[in-house]
Amino acid sequence: MKLKYLVASFLLIAAFFVSCHFGTKDEKQTILTGTATILVDETVYPLVEDHQMIFENQYQAKIKLVAKPEREIVKLLSEGKNNLAILTRELIPGEIKNFSRNNIKGKVTDFAIDGIAFIGHPSNSNFKMEEIELINFLNGKTSKIKNLVFDNANSSTVRYLMDLAKVKSLPKRIFFLCQPIMK
């Protein structure tokens, strides 16, 4: 009978130590180890993805990149659903104030220069688009531009052009390949 209790006690103690050893294995999170999810503006995603592969090969880190349009990233950050992001612009004062409530601090690091390419119909081979034409079109004024098509309504490219033209909404002759504008 004593042997039965002794074996049972030994098994319980062994199970306790084994569970303590395997159950409380906290992996240390540092800037070079651990895991992180980073929201990335889709316009620079391929560039950031290259950096991710190099970083993960060099360090004991696992980085999950999530490509999103700029507006969606800003919305998710302000809702506290994530705290790491790569954007193509600096934060505006209202965003900085909002993010500071969620303990999100921005850091500006220049690592790329973006460009916008406009592709015209082959029949318009001599058409030259100037900035003033684009601004006039975005403001609904007379312009040589008839229509514009963008890949995504919530992209940093659309936001940049709206800032350039100082408009809050876009004219009717602009089309998007996917999703409506997020507020």
Would 183 be classed as within a structural domain?
A: no
Query: Burial code of 85-105, b = ≥16 C-beta within 10 A, e = fewer?
Result: bbbbeebeeebeebbeeeebe
With bands split at pLDDT 50, 70 and 90, how would you rate the model's confidence at 176?
confident
pLDDT for 123-146, tens place per residue? 877 777 888 989 999 999 988 888
Q: DSSP secondary-structure letter at 103?
A: T
Would 87 be classed as within a structural domain?
A: yes
What percent of the chain lies above the pLDDT cut of 90?
21
Q: What is the CATH number of the domain that holds 59?
A: 3.40.190.10
Residues spanned by the domain of 86? 34-101
Domain identity same for 84 and 126 = no
Domain identity same for 94 and 127 = no
pLDDT surpasses 80 at 4: no
Q: What pLDDT score was predicted for residue 37? A: 93
Would 17 be classed as within a structural domain?
A: no
Residue range 4-25: mean pLDDT, rounded: 44
Domain identity same for 52 and 84 = yes
Q: How many CB atoms lie within 10 A of CB 169?
A: 10
Would 28 be classed as within a structural domain?
A: no
Would 13 be classed as within a structural domain?
A: no
pLDDT for 32-52, tens place per residue? 888 999 999 998 899 999 989
Of 101, 131, 160, at which residue does a domain stop? 101
Domain identity same for 40 and 96 = yes
Residue range 165-180: mean pLDDT, rounded: 84
pLDDT surpasses 70 at 63: yes
Q: Are 63 and 56 in contact (CB under 8 A)?
A: yes
pLDDT for 106-117, tens place per residue? 788 887 777 788
Domain count, the chain: 2
Radius of gyration in angstroms for the set of CA atoms belonging to the chain, rounded to a whole number: 26
Q: What pLDDT score was predicted for residue 48? A: 92
Would 128 be classed as within a structural domain?
A: yes
Token pair in block for residue 83: 């705290």
CA 27 to chain centre: 26
Give the integer Cα–Cα distance in Å for 159 and 164.
9
